[in-house]
Structure 1
Amino acid sequence: MKNLKMIFSVLPLLLAGCLAVFLTLENEYNEEKEERETARGRDEYRLMMRGGSWQPEKVMAARQFLKEQVETLQTTVNPHKRDAGINQWTELGPKDFSGRVRAIAVHPTDPNILFVGGVSGGIWKSTNGGASWTPLNDFLPSLSVTSILIHPTGPDTMYLSTGEAFVVSTAPGAGIFKSIDGGDTWNLIDALDPNNLTGFHWVNKLVFHPTDRTILFAATGGNSISSPGLGCGEIYKITGSGSGIIDLGTSNICLGTGLSVAVSAEDPDTILACFSGGLLVSGDGGQTWDPKGTSDGFLAVPGRVEVALDPANQSRIYALCENPGENYGVLMHSTNAGRTWATLNPTMAIFDAGGGENNGWYHNTVWVDPTNADIIIVGGVNLWRSTNRGISFIPISDWTEYTNGLSPHADQHIIVAASNYGPTNKKVYIGNDGGIVSTNNIGSAFVTTGWNLLNNNSFGTTQFYASGTSGQSPNRLIGGAQDNGVIMSTDNGTTWTHEITGDGGYCGFSSTSDLIYASTQRGKFYVNGLGMLVGWIPFEDLDVIDTSVFIAPMKIYPNDGDVVLMGGESLWRRDLAALTAPSTNVGPQPQINRFVTAIDIALDSSLVLVGYNNGSVYKATPGTWNWTLVSTSVIPDACSSWNGPITDIAIHPTNTDKIMISRGGYEDCNIIFTNDGGTTWQSRSDGIPALQVNCLTWHPDIGNWIYAGTDLGVMASENNGQDWNVMPNFGGSDGPAFVEVTELQFATASVFGTRTLTATTYGRGIWKTSTSVRKDIFIDEDCINCGVGTQSFPFSNISDAEDAQAHGQTWTIDAGIYTVPSNNKLVIDKKIGKVNTTNGSVIIGQN
């Protein structure tokens, strides 16, 4: 590490550092407040990194492609599986800082059994009232669970919906699923065609018909979501326990995406359909619809609307309105089943965390006590309670106390009563951006009292943008998460601590010093480990010196961990050995609306590449910083429309001429490769469907092995990306789940020939696996499609052995005549090794 003694001898710097520590503590509120104000920035960023559209048909095709590949492997005798050494995955957490929950269901006869859905983490079950949780299926076609229903008299029958359509937060879902064994297994309902899910890519809410449980109603988003619109949502009636579907025609009126639906138990012909842009009411079972407006006493521009029916009198209905353009929500009520309305509470400051922006489009829920109609709970940023039927409210939670374990997380999405709720049992469950909480008495819970945080170190649904592992200490992990800030573990994931609030971004550990780096939304960067200056010190804000994407990329120099690169419109270099020295703009020349989205540095720090949101890639030698464009007209013909955002760049660890690049969007050409430093490029997308690829990493020891993190898990190649594997034991990818993998990193140290690979996900936390390096390779030409180069399942040709090579391997080749590789040479890629033969000699020749 460079000398840091200067920090302690220069008084102004010490004072600046102390002030920075103070400001870090002082401004935790402001950091999180900014996140409350910029949720759309997050969604716009995620959409941009996917080329501007989710393209649900391509997502569906990718899932089907992987499914078919798995089925082929499962029926093949001794299939040749190229998994690049991936073994079983181990979940590292965090399981107490969880991700967003919009779905909660309580077993109707056993209140200790709960089901919860993460919007990108799948369905989970608890049998002890939330004390612990178990994931039910990590390989559902979609882990974006938005709604869960349990049949009230036959609880083995369950339904769940997939696809969260709140702006552009998550990938398209895969329709509506049904279970007949209490959630152990799930299948698409009979009425839906897995090859054509038009209209059911985003299903936000399911409800039962109040008297006929063979009928369900579904609120859905448009067929596609792309900025700036959400499309026209629809309300569907599902009949015959999932065997039939009736389109109720609400999209003809088009009030935006369908977010929820409510049906009166007293008069099931009364249906209320809630949209991102208003409310529709039907009095004839959905045959006709009446859009609510000023002539009915409703708001002219209500924005998102959520409703709750008074259980004791279902003609009394409450509607919580976003009220866009104002910094407060509006609570309306109707006493005649939604035909006319009156304003009950016109200035509800529940959607604003203090910055003046109304986020009622995102966090918006209302609930009426089933046993006491005077009590109404509304949720926005925090939770509020009324004891006089909505005339006045008091706050009963404070998200700033969440990390102290005293109050619910911010952004409330769903409120559900316990199945045995009654006058003496007031237990309620709440889903929000931090997972699930409960209170034993919703009538008395207050800001920091009466709350139970139920993630309980077992609900692993954290949505990570990025993470970092430590080469010096493999037990240290750090990650930046959606709405959970920066969180860190020093014991290999057993426990985690909350470090910085906001939306966490790129993080990492210095490989040469004690420094730890972190970032939050819009290019705010922090460092920890500067000797006596304990705590996180902000050292750069790209919003001040530049402009960046919502999650600005950062890379630490591999051979000088005091130096980092950060991406805005330009690339910025900062040397933390001199904390007061400003960041330096090292280029390339900025252009309007062009932002850095990916950075990589060669292992010896001799080369830097940067990628942009328009698909361009530049390279330079650090120090001189003379930039060369390497990816405009030289891309392969298969990638003629290469203009999407660069999601990652991977420079080979021992040969800087070998570079792999991925781009965002559901495109057939999503990965390109060069072995001449960028002069020519080849498509390396065979075996990967038109699927979002988020990250890439090379194996540190085996020159041809590379790994890709996609929206459906990890995929691996053993031949420089010429082929990508499909693994039957992981449902179609190399695991760890059918989830977005946002970061892949290898531990610096190798233990007995095994490397640890860490996969960071957006919805299922962080995982690790070991990748075993094969030291002994066996080849036998008589073994047809045999396997993986082991003695029992040898390769059948020389080329496969070359693809699997590593340092110091021994090749054992059975006697025979073998075709040489295409270059007519038998080479072990300049690696030290030896070749043995068994049962006589081997003739290497051409056919």
Structure 2
Amino acid sequence: MRRPTLPLIGTVGVLALAVSAFTFQGPASSDQATRTSAGQMSPSLQLPGEEEDGGPAEPADYLTQKFTSGQEVTTAQIKQAVQQAKTLKPGDGTWELVGPANIGGRVTDLVVDPTHPDTLYIAASGGGIWKSTDAGNTFEPAWPSEYTQTIGALAMGSDGTLWAGTGEANPSGGGLTYFGDGVYKSTDGGKRWQQWGLTDSGAIGKIVVDPTNPKNIFVAAAGNLSGSASERGIYRLTNGGKDWRLVLPTPNNTTGGVDLAIDPTNPKRIFASLWDHQRNSGRRLYGGVGSGLYRSDDGGDTWKRLENVTGRHVADSTGTGLQSDPGLGRIGVALAPSDPNRIYVISGTTMGADKGFYVSDDGGDTFVPSGRAGGNSGFEWWFGRLWVDPKDKNHVFNADVNLRESKDGGATWAASSGPHADQHAIQWDPNVPDRVYLGNDGGVYRSDANGATRSWIHATYEPWNQSYHLAVAMDDPNRLATGLQDNGSNRTWTNTAGPSDLTQWNSYGGGDGHYVLIDPSDHNIYYECSQVGVCSRHEDANGSSRTIRFGKRASSRITTDAPIVLDPNDPSILYFGGNILERSTDRGTTFTQISPPGDFLTGPVPDEQDDKGSYGGLYSAITAIGVAKTNGNTIYVGTDTGRLWKTTDLGANWTEFTGKGLPVRWVNSIVVDPANADHVFVAYSGYREGDYAANIWETTDGGNGWQNISGNLPNAPIEMLAYDQPNDQLYAATDFGVFYNKNGKKNWKRFGNGLPNTPVLDIKITGDGKTLYAATFGRSVWQIPLPQK
């Protein structure tokens, strides 16, 4: 049995893939530009309370105290934390990709190489950069796997230099997006990359390169959605140097740059949009007074706000157009290459509704409302992109759930059918007439008919899925199921032979795939959930399959990633977490409430966490459930409000552990020792609050006492835990990778070699104890052999 012998230790740190500054230094005034260096990383600095050999000496609550006391966490400390993660050397074994490789995941940007036929590069949200040399059919990596894999923007200069901005500027609704560590460049087609500054930008919304001088670069730095970031706004790099100049500062510390467009005939004329947006655990404010559209006519030295709209768009309920307003959300801008005086603008509201679509024929001096470009999705903060056909100024695409197309300059719109939902990137191929590439939440598509409806061809090899959860059959380690962002729930019932077998994964559930389960007593019974707890049971028999939707549940609030758990004592018993705990004894057909109604377990929704938009009702809910194998009446429950509970009589009475030194943070995972109901591990995340402390807590006495066992783990959210009880080995899936702790020893170790540097949201041990699977949020699912005695 593990004994609570670990001291409370830890150091200040942050996500490897989500490096961002926690302090905001304030923007420069509008008439004063600032500079930031892109030089080498600062020398390793000793942290307060750290021993000279780099070993941690402070209590693990040191970071939490820093946050709650409002003290600054410096850039040097963040960089030190990244180095700390690198010192945790990987153990034996090598991770191997098992897919999916045939489905595709979110593509945030793409560029076509004009000098090499059929060649393009794409940026995947959590999957790095990939290169295709066969017109977007298959892809190979063009980005180091050890670098942060979250890419927000991609551009290519006329000299062939590739520019990449790390960190995604598209904020999610119910899920997560991750942040980065600045701008990189490659001069050899993605073989080698150099970090090139803006390391405290959080996320990059757009990069544009001067078409007449590839040494002049503009970057829209979006900032950190949940934390602070000292580099926000529009930055300019000139003469191929490394000093970025802030040329368009932001008016407050919740605003960042998100879009750019440059006039190909007059590169001194640049358009830029700023976006005021922020979120915490429950509330999303995806608009504000800092949002606005700007133009520079002198290469970025000075800027003018553009808000001269004649008339009122039919979607604009306030009539404020592009003026500064608390309800002004994300703005996208594009100009027609064949007539740069034709400017198109799309805008949304704070809550994501359409606010207006505008057209200018005088270079942005004046705008007039035009057609309804948006598809009324309510997700304008997810899109905010327009693209104009380089040969036809009246042929325009607008990003939305469906790809929206206009052939009359935006007066009327229709959907270009065929591609997957949620569009993010388009570029025409200058070498092939009517060829255009599209990137969306389903991967990469190509049209050789200028984007005509039903002309889109999907790539066949693109292994960059974002996996929320994972299940493995206990009697067959090759039967896997995973829930994928915007790609439903997918399964492989065949031998996981690797990515060359593109038939191994297929869909069995839609929407955003979340929790998946496989019945340990019968692998022909399995489960899937899409967002907000829309769940079903699937049963295979005699060559056919049937689907049974979960019965009615009493919960009034359900988080996006609502947990479902099978009772380890009886797989016909299933638990579902909303704002109350619900129990089914017939595999989800019917449910019974077993916790008190209302806010008893979760607490009420705090005012500062109360979302007034379409995502209201997702916060203040159960996020983790642990059922004891030795006593089915003992259940542990954790919530997104940081509350932790236990019942030993199947819900008749409850004991709360909140306030016993435990962090008040989102509970991500609860694991109950299968041999001892009093021995429990709990993992927390403060990611949505800008708190990156590593938090794993253990009790050996049923919750009377708790010990922080985070030890030397790099400070990053702990997403999921898995416990190998026979070998007394605990595994932690984190935003830094997978780590393990043996026999309750002091130090954690990185597990295995070769796992890409992207968040790991779930891990599972096979029934035979020989393999560990990891579900990554950007690089699909991986496996590694477990050490055997």
Do Structure 1 and Structure 2 share a fold, with TM-score over 0.5? yes
Cα 1:691–1:261, aligned 2, differ >3 Å: closer, same or farther?
same
Secondary structure of the corresponding residue to residue 340 of structure 1: coil
Contact 2:515 2:563 in 1 (8 A): yes
Cα 1:669–1:390, aligned 2, differ >3 Å: closer, same or farther?
closer
Match of 2:222 in 1: 221
Structure 1 residue 762 corresponds to structure 2 residue 777: yes
Cα 1:625–1:771, aligned 2, differ >3 Å: closer, same or farther?
farther
Whole-angstrom distance in 1 between the partners of 2:82 and 2:591: 49
Match of 2:763 in 1: 744
Letter aligned with residue 162 of structure 1: T
Whole-angstrom distance in 1 between the partners of 2:76 and 2:545: 49
Structure 1 residue 166 corresponds to structure 2 residue 165: no
Question: In the TM superposition, what are the counterparts of 1:794-809 in structure 2 within 5 Å?
Answer: none
Whole-angstrom distance in 1 between the partners of 2:75 and 2:438: 31
Match of 1:351 in 2: 375
Match of 2:546 in 1: 535
Question: In the TM superposition, what are the counterparts of 1:84-123 in structure 2 within 5 Å?
Answer: 87-123=93-129
Secondary structure of the corresponding residue to residue 465 of structure 1: strand
Match of 1:17 in 2: none
Cα 1:174–1:489, aligned 2, differ >3 Å: closer, same or farther?
same
Secondary structure of the corresponding residue to residue 65 of structure 1: helix
Match of 1:204 in 2: 205
Question: In the TM superposition, what are the counterparts of 1:217-366 in structure 2 within 5 Å?
Answer: 217-222=218-223, 224-226=224-226, 233-252=232-251, 256-276=255-275, 277-294=291-308, 300-302=320-322, 303-322=329-348, 328=354, 330-345=356-371, 347-348=372-373, 350-353=374-377, 358-366=378-386
Aligned length: 661
Q: TM-score, normalised by structure 1?
A: 0.73
Letter aligned with residue 485 of structure 1: G
Whole-angstrom distance in 2 between the partners of 1:60 and 1:450: 50
Match of 2:421 in 1: 410
Cα 1:87–1:603, aligned 2, differ >3 Å: closer, same or farther?
farther
Match of 2:153 in 1: 147
C-alpha displacement of 1:371:
2.1
C-alpha displacement of 1:205:
0.9
Match of 1:658 in 2: 679
Secondary structure of the corresponding residue to residue 380 of structure 2: coil
Whole-angstrom distance in 2 between the partners of 1:253 and 1:626: 48
Cα 1:319–1:668, aligned 2, differ >3 Å: closer, same or farther?
closer
Larger Rg computed on CA atoms:
1
Structure 1 residue 524 corresponds to structure 2 residue 523: no
Whole-angstrom distance in 1 between the partners of 2:206 and 2:236: 12
Q: Which runs of 5+ in 1 are unaligned?
A: 1-50, 74-80, 398-406, 775-847
Q: Deviations over 1:342-374 (max 9, x none)?
A: 2232x33x3324xxxx32222232222222333
Contact 1:631 1:678 in 2 (8 A): no
Match of 1:629 in 2: 656
Structure 1 residue 438 corresponds to structure 2 residue 446: yes
Secondary structure of the corresponding residue to residue 81 of structure 2: helix
Secondary structure of the corresponding residue to residue 786 of structure 2: strand
Whole-angstrom distance in 1 between the partners of 2:352 and 2:245: 37
Asked which structure has the greater RCO (Cα within 8 Å, sep 6+), the reply is 2
Letter aligned with residue 422 of structure 2: D
C-alpha displacement of 1:669:
5.2
Match of 1:560 in 2: 570
Secondary structure of the corresponding residue to residue 532 of structure 2: coil
Cα 1:432–1:214, aligned 2, differ >3 Å: closer, same or farther?
same
Whole-angstrom distance in 2 between the partners of 1:236 and 1:428: 29
Cα 1:103–1:56, aligned 2, differ >3 Å: closer, same or farther?
farther
Whole-angstrom distance in 1 between the partners of 2:681 and 2:779: 26
C-alpha displacement of 1:67:
3.0
Contact 2:580 2:593 in 1 (8 A): no
Whole-angstrom distance in 1 between the partners of 2:424 and 2:139: 20
C-alpha displacement of 1:627:
2.6
Whole-angstrom distance in 2 between the partners of 1:278 and 1:372: 27
Q: Deviations over 1:290-316 (max 9, x none)?
A: 222246778734432222222122122
C-alpha displacement of 1:68:
4.7
Question: In the TM superposition, what are the counterparts of 1:620-699 in structure 2 within 5 Å?
Answer: 620-621=647-648, 623=650, 625-633=652-660, 635=661, 642-665=663-686, 666-668=691-693, 670-699=695-724
Question: In the TM superposition, what are the counterparts of 1:821-836 in structure 2 within 5 Å?
Answer: none
Whole-angstrom distance in 2 between the partners of 1:770 and 1:63: 32
Contact 2:157 2:211 in 1 (8 A): no
Question: For 2:456, which of 451, 455, 458 is the aligned residue?
Answer: 451
Secondary structure of the corresponding residue to residue 569 of structure 1: coil
C-alpha displacement of 1:326:
9.1
Q: Which runs of 5+ in 2 are unaligned?
A: 1-66, 276-290, 314-319, 323-328, 606-619
Question: In the TM superposition, what are the counterparts of 1:483-522 in structure 2 within 5 Å?
Answer: 483-493=486-496, 494=501, 495-513=504-522, 514-522=524-532
Structure 1 residue 701 corresponds to structure 2 residue 726: yes
Whole-angstrom distance in 2 between the partners of 1:700 and 1:136: 40
Contact 1:140 1:738 in 2 (8 A): yes
Secondary structure of the corresponding residue to residue 361 of structure 1: helix
Structure 1 residue 427 corresponds to structure 2 residue 428: no
Q: Deviations over 1:685-743 (max 9, x none)?
A: 2211221111111124311x11111112111112326311147x74xxxx522111111
C-alpha displacement of 1:658:
2.7
Letter aligned with residue 243 of structure 1: K
Secondary structure of the corresponding residue to residue 782 of structure 2: strand
Secondary structure of the corresponding residue to residue 664 of structure 2: coil
C-alpha displacement of 1:58:
8.2
Structure 1 residue 464 corresponds to structure 2 residue 467: yes
Contact 1:109 1:419 in 2 (8 A): no
Cα 1:117–1:82, aligned 2, differ >3 Å: closer, same or farther?
closer
Contact 1:162 1:204 in 2 (8 A): no
C-alpha displacement of 1:663:
0.8
Whole-angstrom distance in 2 between the partners of 1:288 and 1:244: 18
Cα 1:296–1:575, aligned 2, differ >3 Å: closer, same or farther?
same
Whole-angstrom distance in 2 between the partners of 1:185 and 1:430: 25
Whole-angstrom distance in 1 between the partners of 2:397 and 2:274: 20
Cα 1:273–1:564, aligned 2, differ >3 Å: closer, same or farther?
same
Contact 2:97 2:781 in 1 (8 A): yes
Q: TM-score, normalised by structure 2?
A: 0.78
Contact 2:209 2:218 in 1 (8 A): yes
Contact 2:694 2:717 in 1 (8 A): no
Cα 1:648–1:221, aligned 2, differ >3 Å: closer, same or farther?
same
- Amino-acid identity (%): 28
Mean alpha-carbon deviation: is it higher for 706-715 or for 493-502?
Answer: 493-502
Q: Deviations over 1:232-267 (max 9, x none)?
A: 941100123251211113314899432111111222
Structure 1 residue 609 corresponds to structure 2 residue 636: yes
Letter aligned with residue 286 of structure 1: G
Contact 1:138 1:738 in 2 (8 A): no
Question: In the TM superposition, what are the counterparts of 1:355-394 in structure 2 within 5 Å?
Answer: 358-394=378-414
C-alpha displacement of 1:112:
2.0
Cα 1:58–1:671, aligned 2, differ >3 Å: closer, same or farther?
farther
C-alpha displacement of 1:506:
1.0
C-alpha displacement of 1:616:
2.6
Cα 1:668–1:439, aligned 2, differ >3 Å: closer, same or farther?
closer
Match of 2:749 in 1: 725
C-alpha displacement of 1:683:
1.5
C-alpha displacement of 1:648:
0.8
Whole-angstrom distance in 1 between the partners of 2:555 and 2:271: 49
Letter aligned with residue 106 of structure 1: V
Letter aligned with residue 67 of structure 1: Q
Whole-angstrom distance in 1 between the partners of 2:589 and 2:772: 36
Whole-angstrom distance in 2 between the partners of 1:551 and 1:60: 34
Contact 1:524 1:540 in 2 (8 A): no
Contact 2:694 2:718 in 1 (8 A): no
